[in-house]
Amino acid sequence: MEQEALPLPELAVPSESTTGLTTTRAPFIEDAQRSGKLFITQPYELYSEANHAAWNTLYKRMLPRWKIYANEHFLEGISSLCLSPEAVPRLSDVNRFLAPLTGFEAKPVSGYVPAFVFFDCLRARKFPTTITIRDGSRLDYLPEPDLFHDVAGHVPMHTDTAFAEALVKFGECARTAVQLTSGIQDEHLRAQRLTSIIKAMARFFWFTIEFGLMRGRGRDLKVYGSGLLSSFGEIEHAIESPQVQRFPIQLEWAINQGFEIHHYQPLLFIVDSFDHLFNLVDRLERWMREGKLNNVAPGEPEVNEADLLSFIHADVVD
């Protein structure tokens, strides 16, 4: 896979105590959160040498595994984005290559994005993107998203037209949920109904966009889920381990199946293609309208108050 590397920026050398965009240790992010700023700019000059080194290590060690286990659409996407292995990418450069392909753009955020806001961004072809990167001593596991997960795991898939359309359609489901429940006068019933729908959507996203498998051109199983594509250990485990159960996806199973985030996934679902994925999203929305998502099975993930309120207070007027 040939890549055209972008020229590396000249890096400033700021004070250690005030700079760096390391996950959980980034004063810039803390200030933005205190100010209530969700959508921000990427202050590229704040990345430390350690941040660039972490990106370099993560990218270079993933590259051989992508070539073995990633689906061809991801590999084409990585090539199209012209990511440099040497330094943290500028999102403006990422978007320069991405936007002409599918209209998507990486939109920097200061941290957690409430569920409705996140899904509605997808509808508008904007992907909320974390700008901090994990510490070099914690490369193998991070419970929260970081820049490597978002840019190297998610964004290459956004270069594929069929996958992008499925994401947009999924984003539209959030608006459908708000419209279907906005007329419910009983606040408890409305919250209960939305909680079930959000849980179903979160499970679907997890088992497809984050941890999905797909048949490759040679009918071998390949990875397209971003949680796998950004994990050095789990990408191989997902394909090779006999401990993983792999089944053709059934929508009714996926939306009623709980999951836990703190270990390798024991159950993965396979889609036939991204057209198949789009059709699944279309059916998900249809089932929502028919009331089939109103009482999904209890269990993980739990829907927190911020996610629920983001749907209850959503303004869906264009």
Which of 64, 66, 51, 58 shows the shortest CA–CA distance to 21? 51
pLDDT for residue 232 is more than 90: yes
Encode pLDDT of 122-161 as tens digits: 999 999 999 999 998 778 767 788 999 999 999 999 999 9
- When mean pLDDT is compared across 13-27, 32-46, 85-99, the lowest value belongs to 13-27
Q: With 0.85 as the threshold, say if the pTM is over it.
A: yes
Q: What letter does residue 151 receive in the DSSP assignment?
A: I
Q: Assign 80 to helix, strand or coil.
A: helix
| Sequence-distant (≥ 6) Cβ neighbours of residue 192 within 8 angstroms | none
Provide the mean pLDDT of the chain: 92
pLDDT for residue 10 is more than 50: no
Encode pLDDT of 193-229 as tens digits: 999 999 999 999 999 999 999 987 777 999 999 999 9
Q: What letter does residue 140 receive in the DSSP assignment?
A: S
Percentage of the chain beyond pLDDT 70 is: 93
With contact defined as beta carbons under 8 Å apart, do 249 and 270 qualify? yes
